[in-house]
Homo-oligomer: A and B are copies of this chain.
Amino acid sequence: MLCEIDPQANIPIYRQVMNQIRGQVMTGQLAEGDQLESVKNLSARLKVNPMTISKAYGYLVEEEIIERRRGIGLFVARIKPDRRKRLKNRMLADTLTKAATLAVQMDIPEAEAQALFTQYFRKIKSPERGDK
């Protein structure tokens, strides 16, 4: 499982972990029933306090995105299609609203805002070689 964190960023590490896993579950990179990397493993790999990973996992369990199987480990939970859809939408709505709000505040005309968004979208979708 891929997972990178930026210890400099202003986002708490446990949230960075949550975001990455949640994203991977949503996109299917982590499928239902897949086992998550153990707290010990992941914390060692990211050079992070185990409690931090544990906390991230704990919240994801609360969100019912992953589930504990006692004595075995943590696994990606079964998520009903409509719930999955709602989750996706909520996540999208949040960031899109933020972006749109800012664009409106900045008095950017609709066409330009759209163009910018599409531009970023494409850049992320097919990053040119040479990008870091």
- On A, residues with C-beta under 8 Å from B are 7-8, 12-13, 23, 26-28, 49, 62, 67, 69-71, 88, 91-93, 95-108, 110, 113-114, 116-118, 120-125
Contact = CB atoms under 8 A, between A and B. Distances in A.
A98 B97 CA distance: 11
The 5 closest A-B CB pairs, nearest first, are A100-B120, A95-B99, A100-B121, A99-B99, A23-B105
Contacts of A70: 7, 12-13
A123 to B, nearest CB: 8
B110 A124 contact: no
Interface SS, A side: helix
A93 to B, nearest CB: 7
Given A69-B7, A117-B100, A26 B95 contact: no
Contacts of A102: 23, 91-92, 95
